[in-house]
Structure 1
Amino acid sequence: MAASTAQNTTGATGRTTTNTTIRRDTRTLPAAALGPENPLPPLLPRNDPHRVSEEQRATLPAEMARQIGYAPLTTVLPTRIRDGYTRERVPTAVDVIVIENDRLRATVLPGYGGRVHSLLHKPTGRELLYTNPVLQPADFALNGAWFSGGIEWNIGATGHTTLSCAPVHAAVVPAPDGGPMLRLWEWERLRDTPFQVDLWLPEGSDFLHAGVRIRNPHETTVPVYWWSNTAVPETEGTRVLVPAEQTWHFGYQRGLRLIPTPRWEGTDHSFPLRGTYPADHFYEVPAAARKWIAALDETGTGLVQTSTGALRGRKLFVWGAGPGGRRWQRWLTEPGSAGYAEIQAGLARTQLEHVPLPAGAELSWVEAYGPLSADPAATHGPDWARARAEAEERLTEALPAAELDAAHAAWLPHADLAPTETLHAGSGWGALEVASGGHELPGTPFDPGTLGSEQRPWLELLDAGRFPEPAAGAVPGPSLVSPAWRDRLECAPGGPLTDYHLGVAQWHAGDRAQARRSWERSVAAAPSPWPLRCLAVADGCEGHLDAAAERAGRALDLALDAAAPAAPAAALAALAREAVPALLAAGRAAEAGRALDRLPAAIRAAGRFRLLESRVLLAQGRQDAARAVFEAGFEVADLREGDEALTETWAALTDDPLPEHYEFRMRPS
């Protein structure tokens, strides 16, 4: 159902385009519902496999070491964790925006981070991307829910963006040639940086162009991060070509080392399926070289990504041919689907780095995605230099570097143009931050009409200087933690909810003693699970395991015992996921078992709680019963990337090989 069309229009340049159109539509896909957010503020770093030790960082090149050590995340606040999804997929109508001309058709998912889900080359009928036939969330994003496939825009910090499964704003804007351009934009909340991605199809071009801009509207420098991740079909003949002779190899053993490319230890790693384990290859692309990366099949055809010089980094991610990588591939899609690799482009050499963006400054570049056909005898031959040269020559014929630089220059004046037709609404957080900071952001309006129930209490704090106290028993909304919001909370009249949010902001700022005092005031004024849980986390961080267990258990008991309105299932599940491990860590296995028994049956039946049940039974010395849980079978829908809880629990039960359906290991034993 087309809801918006733009074609044959005359723009600011006075030139008339060809038949480029932009329209809204829907696609029906098997999808697992995202479910509710986890209501507990994420006070601790999540399990992040993308880290290196301080000892190794000291051995790296100076710029890389400095940027790896620059402003790493300590939490994913102010966002919340998305872990409410399951693995039950049903046919679902998904909003899409389609931009196409007679050469390409790009299908974008505005409700899922603006991901380019499909890129079809119409003259050949070839799909250039790996297009996942399902929408199955998995725990790969910084804040949980993520799904595989397409082109994703990763901003914020090392990892998949918190916007992976979140809506973005979308609208039609005049393109550099006068035709329509699709603008996607949002407020990235980890670093408080607005950004935009402008997609357009130049006349007669086989390349989708993407103009990207990140702005720092603040009076201080902010750290920024960007990687454009492109999932490409993976077969035995797929080879990834890039203008580099060395790569920084990063595996899930958390080691970063410079190795030759493509061959290392007897294996040609430019073929994604020739490795065993998942790995990142961050290429050493020479500063003077053109920036590009291509994935070509055995016939020499595939997709190439190129950009202007600001996007300096290039990377290949492979799942490998081992059992863990294959299991993850199947986990992320449906049986019988093809596998994929990812070719990526970023601001730094590696994804472990963040770069400074000065106050009031902006970063911009243009990327292009399109088909590439080259001589397979060269691209897949043993001569790496010839393979690269053949691909780059064909790229130069299709899209000269000077033409892309000119596209960037032509696009920049359009980056500030106001949208002409709204196609999709993102969150209200950008509108709140604009109201808070008084920011002027031409081209990316954050409409006050998007302010919703989550933002309204903060708007009252901004306007009236006080934070409204909710009805007794209500689960607190999201906390804001930036210095400006923390200052406002400190100046507001005290109250249980105000002190709770203030404690979260103080904790995020590193002032843990003040955070404790704020939460203790909140509990003293009105005992509730939420500040108690925060105090339990603080106790655990200080090694006070008994105190942590006591408070975490009491927080869960309060939620379970609450009179109307009772705590929602998402809150009970979140509290229990922390209370049960805290009780086990303190050696209180009997209490951990009783906590599980008190949960509603629907929560206990979830895979995460079946795993906890096995761990509790093991701690109680009931090894046969713990193994029986595994033998009955369960799936942990929100298993975290790199999480080895399944492997570790099974190893504590038996020396038998881990059953295949629990095999998610991403590194050698």
Structure 2
Amino acid sequence: MKLTIADAGPVSPLPILRPPAVATPDFGHPPSLLPYARRDSYGRDPAEREVPSVTLENEHLRAVFLPGLGGRLWSLVDLATGRELLHRNPVIQPANLALRDAWFAGGVEWNLGTTGHWALTCDPLHAAWVEAPYPVLRLYEYERMRGLVVQIDAALPPGSPALVVSVTIRNPRTETVPVYWWSNIAVPQTPRTRVLAPADRAEHFGYAQRLTTVPYPGEPDAGYPGTWRSAADYFFHVTSDIPWIAAVDDDGHGLLHTSTSRLKGRKLFGWGVSAGGSNWQTWLSGPGAPYLEIQAGLARTQLEHLPLPGDTAWTWTETYSPLTLRQPHAPYEQARAAVDVIARTLPWKQADPGPWTDRPVTEVIHRGSGWGALERRAGGLPESAATPFPDDTLGPEQTPWLSLLAEGRLPGEAVCEAVCVVGPRWLNLLRTAADWHGRYHLGLNLWAAGDRAGALDAWREALAVRRHPLVLRALAEAGRIDGDDAAAAVLLLEAHALAPGMRPLTVETLTTLIAAGRPADALDLVDRLPAEDRAHGRVRLLEARAALATGDRARTGRILDAGLIVPDLREGEDALDDLWFAHHGRDAALPPAYDFRMD
């Protein structure tokens, strides 16, 4: 199908050593996001292009999936009325909201991994048809950080008024693995859209990063997100044996999501109607397309992980169906009871996907990555007809690791070095790899396993063999995390001199120079950049900050006055308003284009 899309672009060569930021780290909070690197090469220049899609349809519903973009359920249309039940975004515009940076709004996103939008949200998944009496679409992939296989089976059985989705998470390892899952459902928002759930309490979580138990819907009525002043999450204390959540518009039409009991968590997220929240919605979807999110997860909140034992699979069922309430604005208890009755009438037995889970695929229609095949070759994944990872999916990213399996070493002379791979098997193989490339990846594996001291030793050993920019950057990033910006700046300047065309490295170097109190050196580096890199919004933001720190207010003013657009502005980041007020004073009016404040 054709969609207006801004491509997320190539993946950064710099793997993410930092853990995701969460308010209360708990069991399962990873020491880093390794083996993943950032997806941060997008702009704000969407164009119409062909995007792979797969359609399921029966007499009641039409569902469209995007296997090349995280398997996103992009559209769900009620054929009786022609209503779109989801927020079908008019544009796919990446923005910096996911664990790896690039994320886009709309549809139903599947989230596996850890707190945040998952690592594969902009990556391709494998897609195949399943051996079944009616069309069953299987989306699956190997999730590399946790070492899990995720399988999403979707079907519209004949006569079913609901899209049925069966999710299976398999842990092929012998050890227990922390698991996080949330199905993130975007739906259209009007000023009178109402969200209902089988709960009278919720955990409120705002950008102050605190969980507070509150009554729901409370006073003022939080069930109408289109009236909120600020963005917030509400994690519901679900009391029903059939967990559900629903959103309906002013006329009572909307979407009902239900599930079996394993998927017990429910959440409501809204952007609020402040200037910042409105700007974020426009940033993601364009003008006039506001949305909210209703979500379903394994735990009560998104700060939690659950232990999945070794050699174990968890499966649950979700349904997505049209909902019509005759009295959408009735008293909360009355409206909630009406939805509960409808939730219990869905055809669970007719649409029970349990028999699908282990059925083989019959036709592969879209290829995901080769990482599952590599892990199978390494002995980490058993053969499976349900989720096959054949050798023909192996590609250039896996080639260095096949060399390690066959020869005990990684190739070391390539311009672009091996993409990071982590896990116990690879850690053991890398311990005997004595070259600089092997030592570098040994350090990444030790870091991912939480052995910081061992990682630093491995990187120092690699550096003694070769002054490579990726090794220098790894040591610098470790220093930045520990608060030693001065030492990190020295290492990053050397790394940047060796790889001046690596824009992510340029951004890290500039950021660290400013943090280390060396803004003049940051400006000197900016002045030596090629025009394309210097024009990038993030680089211009750092240039403006460095100029302000040196007292060159005119230079900062020219950047602000020309209009500063930062494509990878982070959700909750106050860089634009902070820069504006630092330059103009706290009493100056903040231009709407610079107002992305969320609190």
Question: Which letter maps to 1:517?
Answer: D
* Aligned equivalent of 1:380: 329
Contact kept, 8 Å, 2:12 with 2:504, in 1: the verdict is yes
* Aligned equivalent of 2:575: 645
Corresponding position: 1:276 with 2:246: no
Question: How many Å apart are 1:165 and its aligned residue?
Answer: 0.5
Question: How many Å apart are 1:367 and its aligned residue?
Answer: 0.5
Question: Which letter maps to 2:66?
Answer: L
Contact kept, 8 Å, 1:308 with 1:405, in 2: the verdict is no
Separation of aligned partners in 2, 1:549 and 1:368:
52
Contact kept, 8 Å, 1:366 with 1:407, in 2: the verdict is no
Corresponding position: 1:107 with 2:107: no
Contact kept, 8 Å, 1:553 with 1:595, in 2: the verdict is no
* Aligned equivalent of 1:65: none
* Aligned equivalent of 1:242: 197
* Aligned equivalent of 2:495: 555
Separation of aligned partners in 1, 2:344 and 2:475:
59
Instruction: Tell me the alpha carbon deviations over residues 231-252 of structure 1, each in whole angstroms, 9 at most, x when there is no partner.
Output: 1110012101111000000001
1:176-575 aligned at under 5 Å gives the runs 178-263=133-218, 266-286=219-239, 288-335=240-287, 337-376=288-327, 379-381=328-330, 383-397=331-345, 399=346, 403-404=347-348, 407-408=351-352, 411-436=353-378, 437-471=380-414, 474-492=415-433, 494-560=434-500, 569=501, 572-575=502-505
Instruction: Tell me the alpha carbon deviations over residues 245-279 of structure 1, each in whole angstroms, 9 at most, x when there is no partner.
Output: 0000000100101000002xx31110111111111
Question: Which letter maps to 2:117?
Answer: H
* Aligned equivalent of 1:148: 105
The alignment partner of 1:372 has SS state of strand
Contact kept, 8 Å, 2:172 with 2:381, in 1: the verdict is no
* Aligned equivalent of 2:589: 657
Separation of aligned partners in 1, 2:281 and 2:486:
40
Separation of aligned partners in 2, 1:261 and 1:234:
19
Contact kept, 8 Å, 1:374 with 1:394, in 2: the verdict is no
Separation of aligned partners in 2, 1:173 and 1:539:
49
* Aligned equivalent of 1:16: none
Instruction: Tell me the alpha carbon deviations over residues 124-174 of structure 1, each in whole angstroms, 9 at most, x when there is no partner.
Output: 111111100111011111111110000111111111111110000001113
* Aligned equivalent of 1:75: 32
Contact kept, 8 Å, 2:173 with 2:311, in 1: the verdict is yes
Question: How many Å apart are 1:658 and its aligned residue?
Answer: 2.0
After TM superposition, where is structure 1 displaced by more than 6 Å over at least 4 residues in a row?
Answer: none
- Aligned CA distance change for structure 1 residues 364 and 231 (closer, same or farther; 3 Å): same
Contact kept, 8 Å, 1:137 with 1:332, in 2: the verdict is yes
Question: Which letter maps to 1:38?
Answer: S
Moved more, 122-131 or 640-649: 640-649
Separation of aligned partners in 1, 2:70 and 2:426:
26
1:25-174 aligned at under 5 Å gives the runs 27-46=1-20, 48=21, 50-52=22-24, 69-174=26-131
Separation of aligned partners in 1, 2:10 and 2:40:
8
Separation of aligned partners in 2, 1:538 and 1:167:
31
Contact kept, 8 Å, 1:293 with 1:305, in 2: the verdict is yes
Question: How many Å apart are 1:495 and its aligned residue?
Answer: 1.0
Question: How many Å apart are 1:438 and its aligned residue?
Answer: 4.5
The alignment partner of 2:461 has SS state of helix
The alignment partner of 2:431 has SS state of helix
Question: How many Å apart are 1:653 and its aligned residue?
Answer: 1.5
Contact kept, 8 Å, 2:31 with 2:449, in 1: the verdict is no
Separation of aligned partners in 1, 2:367 and 2:569:
30
The alignment partner of 1:117 has SS state of strand
- Choose from 513, 516, 528 the match for 1:583: 513
Separation of aligned partners in 1, 2:34 and 2:503:
20
* Aligned equivalent of 2:522: 592
Separation of aligned partners in 1, 2:440 and 2:448:
13
Separation of aligned partners in 2, 1:174 and 1:535:
50
The alignment partner of 1:268 has SS state of coil
The alignment partner of 2:247 has SS state of strand
Separation of aligned partners in 1, 2:555 and 2:543:
10
Separation of aligned partners in 2, 1:34 and 1:250:
29
Instruction: Tell me the alpha carbon deviations over residues 368-418 of structure 1, each in whole angstroms, 9 at most, x when there is no partner.
Output: 001011112xx312x211110112223334x1xxx426644xx22321111
Separation of aligned partners in 1, 2:152 and 2:257:
16
Separation of aligned partners in 2, 1:617 and 1:157:
38
Contact kept, 8 Å, 1:267 with 1:275, in 2: the verdict is no
The alignment partner of 2:285 has SS state of coil
The alignment partner of 1:426 has SS state of coil
Contact kept, 8 Å, 1:307 with 1:404, in 2: the verdict is no
Contact kept, 8 Å, 2:373 with 2:391, in 1: the verdict is yes
Separation of aligned partners in 2, 1:438 and 1:165:
24
Contact kept, 8 Å, 1:198 with 1:211, in 2: the verdict is yes
Separation of aligned partners in 2, 1:596 and 1:503:
31
Question: Which letter maps to 2:221?
Answer: D
Question: Which letter maps to 1:481?
Answer: V
Question: How many Å apart are 1:482 and its aligned residue?
Answer: 1.5
Question: How many Å apart are 1:51 and its aligned residue?
Answer: 1.7
- Aligned CA distance change for structure 1 residues 204 and 406 (closer, same or farther; 3 Å): closer
Separation of aligned partners in 1, 2:90 and 2:554:
40
| Normalised TM-score (structure 2) | 0.97
Question: How many Å apart are 1:179 and its aligned residue?
Answer: 1.0
Separation of aligned partners in 1, 2:205 and 2:391:
43
Contact kept, 8 Å, 1:121 with 1:206, in 2: the verdict is no
* Aligned equivalent of 1:13: none
* Aligned equivalent of 1:56: none
* Aligned equivalent of 1:666: 598
Separation of aligned partners in 2, 1:180 and 1:321:
42
Instruction: Tell me the alpha carbon deviations over residues 290-338 of structure 1, each in whole angstroms, 9 at most, x when there is no partner.
Output: 2111101111111100011111011111011111110000000223x32
Separation of aligned partners in 2, 1:545 and 1:374:
57
Question: How many Å apart are 1:654 and its aligned residue?
Answer: 2.2
- Aligned CA distance change for structure 1 residues 438 and 117 (closer, same or farther; 3 Å): closer
Instruction: Tell me the alpha carbon deviations over residues 577-616 of structure 1, each in whole angstroms, 9 at most, x when there is no partner.
Output: 1111211222222211111112111011011011011011
What is the aligned-residue RMSD (CA, Å)?
Answer: 1.5
Separation of aligned partners in 1, 2:9 and 2:529:
19
- Aligned CA distance change for structure 1 residues 295 and 549 (closer, same or farther; 3 Å): same
Question: How many Å apart are 1:442 and its aligned residue?
Answer: 4.1
Equivalent residues, number: 596
Q: Which runs of 5+ in 2 are unaligned?
A: none
